[in-house]
Structure 1
């Protein structure tokens, strides 16, 4: 697979870098878990950064590029700070839609319980970790998503 760019090409966008990463991931037959292990980070964070929603520290970007045999031009795109924007319409992909559905049905419940336990504030999505696990079950395997974010109280001034 030849994914090289010449020095006269414009810098890669995060979307361009993501396209190259996805193509290399498929070509190498790697999972996100294997890629994350290869660069020493969690699968959720690695996937999010590879999809353009987080910036990578330089050494992790270089490790990802080396692991996937990508052109060096991908590194600056991975290191660049993202603009975290997503379509505001409800998505139609079933896996993503169900997460929206969970927030739609349980969002206010979660807010009430968080505020009852912690006070008026939010869970950080910056000081945050998330893990996705498969739980074997005789009635059908289960998806377990664990989110762990720092509580940030609202300030009065």
Structure 2
């Protein structure tokens, strides 16, 4: 089974069982953000997590194997049109140079890892309109000189 078929199977089962990523993550003891990314095919899952996800959803070894497979991360090179994804793209477009300047001023010349990385998404209730709290936590990787 390839990652696309795996994702379609997982999402169909999730919808059929009326599950949320939050519920699945809590039940499995996994970060809902990481779990979602793995189920959407953007991260590989260690064997024990892949097996737990497949068993939780009542899916077979073929899904567990696909969850374990290393992904090829390819996304469109054009500006995204989905409004939520576009707004994140817009944030990086507007604030990307600012983030780079501030991070490098504080840490030195380098980058934030997207491998040694975690992310959390929270809902903050507000009478003026609920807020999204997006926390990204990545290890700083300095550029080496030789």
TM-score (norm 1): 0.91
From 44, 50, 65, give the equivalent of 2:39.
Answer: 50
Q: Quick check: 1:72 aligned with 2:61?
A: yes
RMSD: 0.7
Alignment partner, residue 138 of structure 1: 127
Aligned residues: 146
User: 1:38 offset after TM fit, Å?
Assistant: 2.3
Equivalences for 1:6-155 in 2 at 5 Å? 12-155=1-144
Unaligned 5+ runs, structure 1:
1-11
- 4+ runs deviating over 3 angstroms: none
User: Alignment partner of 1:52: what SS?
Assistant: coil
User: 1:35 offset after TM fit, Å?
Assistant: 1.1
Distance 1:73 1:87 in 2: 27
TM-score (norm 2): 0.98
Unaligned 5+ runs, structure 2:
none
User: 1:51 offset after TM fit, Å?
Assistant: 0.4
* Deviations 1:37-76 (CA, angstroms, capped at 9, x unpaired): 2222101100000000000011111111111111221111
* Deviations 1:71-121 (CA, angstroms, capped at 9, x unpaired): 221111100011111111111000101000000000000000000000000
User: Alignment partner of 1:115: what SS?
Assistant: helix
